[in-house]
């Protein structure tokens, strides 16, 4: 194998792919980056730890001799990233089993693994299901994945649910049981049989690096217990989280006693300031309390150790029941307010007393909603 490629093109391809390689030393080949040179397909790189896999290609390389080589992914990526802006030559020396890397008058080499032992990606029999614009998928993941649990005894809550319903309606949902984020999109494919699948949040993070903010389509396919997201010559494969996701529709409240419309920027900055107050020793959760009145809303954050913040908001509209208190996890509320503040001046918070879940929405968009469960406090 021998090829020449500009440093920026090589670094961009390597940075995209190498993160799928294993960082553990249990199975050395899984920490590898498979580099394949073909005059027909150009330069292709593949990495996988069997949980996630990424393959991408570029036609910007001059292929002088076809072949393949397996090197340590993370070392190769770190090294390439630091090379000067110049043409890079990669050449496999079969006698010494090393990959020679030449840049200008300088050079280095990396020892290789036996690529015959590399598992590759199980993509020979992919079954295509549906497509959607990259910008839609990117927005949906940005607005939902943060609500998934970091750890949970039910693993389904550590992932993001894709639920395809009759008529091509796609629901993308994430929840840690204390909050739920819910995004709806109408697929072009209307004759799909209903099905669903759950992807890990790690997959979401890698997928976000892959997605562009444009209308180009990304395809969703399946192979065994893997989902494959692909666009052009780039694909990301991920194992699915097994298990049945609970009925999320039952969690979304349908009737309310109070509807509050409030400035999203005012609420977001108020929550930012409230978050500066340390957690209370009794509750152990960073929380903020709202006292809803006819003329004003008092927002209170209290810490026995540090002090208290009390803010008054007068610019709002409220319908239904008033004169009650409700407390929320400050961070959970602020997470969604950052999203809303970036896209709308007003948000709607619908409630039914101090203990029932609240529904938070952008009144101008009906395809995204956020459910937040209140906290029980002694105050």
pLDDT in tens, 242-277: 999 999 999 999 999 999 999 999 999 999 999 998
pLDDT at 148 over 90: yes
Task: Supply the pLDDT for residue 117.
Answer: 82
pLDDT at 115 over 90: no
Can you tell me the mean pLDDT for 354-371? Answer: 96
199 — pLDDT class (breaks 50, 70, 90):
very high
Burial class (CB in 10 A: 0-12, 13-18, 19+), 3: buried
CATH number of 127-250: 3.10.150.10
pLDDT at 350 over 90: yes
26 — pLDDT class (breaks 50, 70, 90):
confident
- Domain 2-117 fold is DNA Polymerase III; Chain A, domain 2 (3.10.150)
pLDDT tens digits, residue range 280-312? Answer: 667 678 899 999 999 999 999 988 888 899 999
The 3 state secondary structure assigned to the chain is CEEEEEHHHHHHHHHHHHHHCCCCCCCHHHHEEEEEEECCCEEEEEEECCCEEEEEEECCCEEEECEEEEEEHHHHHHHHHCCCCCEEEEEEECCCCEEEEEECCEEEEEEEECHHHCCCCCCCCCEEEEEEEHHHHHHHHHHHHHHCCCCCCCHHHHEEEEEEECCCEEEEEEECCCEEEEEEEECCCCCCCCEEEEEEHHHHHHHHHHCCCCCCEEEEEEECCEEEEEECCEEEEEECCCCCCCCHHHHCCCCCCEEEEEEHHHHHHHHHHHHCCCCCCCCCCCEEEEEECCCCEEEEEEECCCEEEEEEECCEEEEECCCEEEEEEHHHHHHHHHHHHCCCCEEEEEECCCCCCEEEECCCCCCEEEEECCECCCC
Can you tell me the mean pLDDT for 139-147? Answer: 98
pLDDT tens digits, residue range 43-69? Answer: 999 999 999 999 999 999 999 999 999
CATH number of 253-372: 3.10.150.10
Task: Supply the pLDDT for residue 16.
Answer: 95
Ranges of CATH 3.10.150.10 domains, the chain: 2-117, 127-250, 253-372
* Torsion angle of the four alpha carbons 242, 247, 248, 254, in this order, in degrees rounded to the nearest 10: 180
pLDDT at 25 over 80: no
Q: Which residue has the higher pLDDT, 160 or 281?
A: 160
377 — pLDDT class (breaks 50, 70, 90):
confident
Task: Supply the pLDDT for residue 122.
Answer: 85
Can you tell me the mean pLDDT for 193-216? Answer: 95
pLDDT at 138 over 60: yes
pTM here?
0.93
Task: Supply the pLDDT for residue 283.
Answer: 67
pLDDT at 120 over 90: no
């Amino acid at each position: 194998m021998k090829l020449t490629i500009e440093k920026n093109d090589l670094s961009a391809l390597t940075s995209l792919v190498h993160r799928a390689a294993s960082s553990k030393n249990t199975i050395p080949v899984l920490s590898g980056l498979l580099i394949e040179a073909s005059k027909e397909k150009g330069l292709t790189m593949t990495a996988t730890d069997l949980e996630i896999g990424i393959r991408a290609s570029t036609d910007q390389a001059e292929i002088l001799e076809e072949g393949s080589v397996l090197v340590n992914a993370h070392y190769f990526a770190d090294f390439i990233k630091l090379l000067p802006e110049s043409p890079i030559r990669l050449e496999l020396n079969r006698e010494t089993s090393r990959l020679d890397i030449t840049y200008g008058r300088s050079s280095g080499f990396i020892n290789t693994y036996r690529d015959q032992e590399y598992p590759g990606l199980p993509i020979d029999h992919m079954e295509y299901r549906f497509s959607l614009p990259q910008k839609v998928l990117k927005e949906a993941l940005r607005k939902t994945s943060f609500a998934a649990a970091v750890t949970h005894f039910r693993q389904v809550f550590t992932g993001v649910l894709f639920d395809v319903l009759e008529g091509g309606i796609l629901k993308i949902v994430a929840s840690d049981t204390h909050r739920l984020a819910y995004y709806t999109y109408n697929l072009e494919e209307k004759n799909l049989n209903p099905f669903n699948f759950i992807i890990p949040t790690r997959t979401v993070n890698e997928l976000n690096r892959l997605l562009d903010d444009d209308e180009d389509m990304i395809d969703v396919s399946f192979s065994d217990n893997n989902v494959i997201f692909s666009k052009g010559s780039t694909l990301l494969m991920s194992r699915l989280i097994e298990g049945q996701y609970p009925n999320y529709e039952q969690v979304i409240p349908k009737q309310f006693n109070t509807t509050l419309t409030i400035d999203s920027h005012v609420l977001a900055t108020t929550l930012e300031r409230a978050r500066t107050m340390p957690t209370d020793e009794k509750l152990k959760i960073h929380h903020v309390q709202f006292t809803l009145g006819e003329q004003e809303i008092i927002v209170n954050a209290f810490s026995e150790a540090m002090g208290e913040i009390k803010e008054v908001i007068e610019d709002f509209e409220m319908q239904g029941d008033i004169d009650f208190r409700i407390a929320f996890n400050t961070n959970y509320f602020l997470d969604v307010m950052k999203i809303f503040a970036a896209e709308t001046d007003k948000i709607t918070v619908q409630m039914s007393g101090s203990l029932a879940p609240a529904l938070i929405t952008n009144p101008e968009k009906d395809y995204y909603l956020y459910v937040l469960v209140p906290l029980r406090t002694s105050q």
